[in-house]
Structure 1
Amino acid sequence: MFNSVFFEIYFSELCLLPVDPGPCFGGIKSWAWDSNEGTCVPFLYGGCRGNRNRFHSRRSCERRCVVRLETPKTVERSKYRNVHPNTRRLTLDRAAESSDFKGASRQVHKNDTAQADILHGKSPS
């Protein structure tokens, strides 16, 4: 039995865009992914131009720019015969099911120290 470990990575190119309020002065409360901070941040959108790194809520920003990967609670070894015994198969949780990663999975070596880290600002390989 494995403990649950979460990994967070952003997965959309629009999340790489800088926070851009645009040149207008509409003062519309919005959210954007800030690659430097590794999180969604609030900002005031002017109402014109800007870029696509703009969301109406923190939740919608996180849904688009963060995907959570979780280890299975239990793993049947026979089910993963072709998987090296020192790997864990991570699958996307329900929040990411509608994302571009639907049905995707990753493997992480169980001795990899990065498993306890939260990874921000790195494209998935």
Structure 2
Amino acid sequence: MVMNTRAHKVIIFFIVMHGMVLNSDGSEKFLFWKQSRDPVTRTTTTQSQLNTTDGTTFNSSICSQNPAKGDCRAHLQSWYYNSTSGNCSVFYYGGCRGNENRFDTCQECMRKCRFQNVSETGSNITAICNELEQAADEIDYW
């Protein structure tokens, strides 16, 4: 389904004014903090017994950057590579600007920053990201 420009602008306006979008099942997804104008960046670090060292590479030009929420006020859950912990972590992106150390999923973050050029790490990435996502969900609050 292709969305015309006017409908797209109406949706963007709704998100900016109300801080939420409606999912296809009718539920609401909030994209802004309710009581804070400045979303807090949070880091989730999970210790893992999984094999995470074989074939590890590091794209330092992107992956060593600190997370940057940008100048806008959206509250979009994103992932960044935390070079201190050696894992990807959740932060909230404002919707514009920021930097390249921002990924839509944990898997994308891990592939770009941790397991670049390694083909047999798919199940390992999935297992690590499942742990990181669960830990992030446990501390997700309003």
TM-score (norm: length of structure 2): 0.43
User: Which structure's residues are more often helix, by fraction?
Assistant: 2
TM-score normalised to structure 1 length? 0.48
Of the two, which has the highest radius of gyration? 1
Higher strand proportion: 1
Structure with more contact order per residue of length (Cα contacts < 8 Å, sep ≥ 6): 1
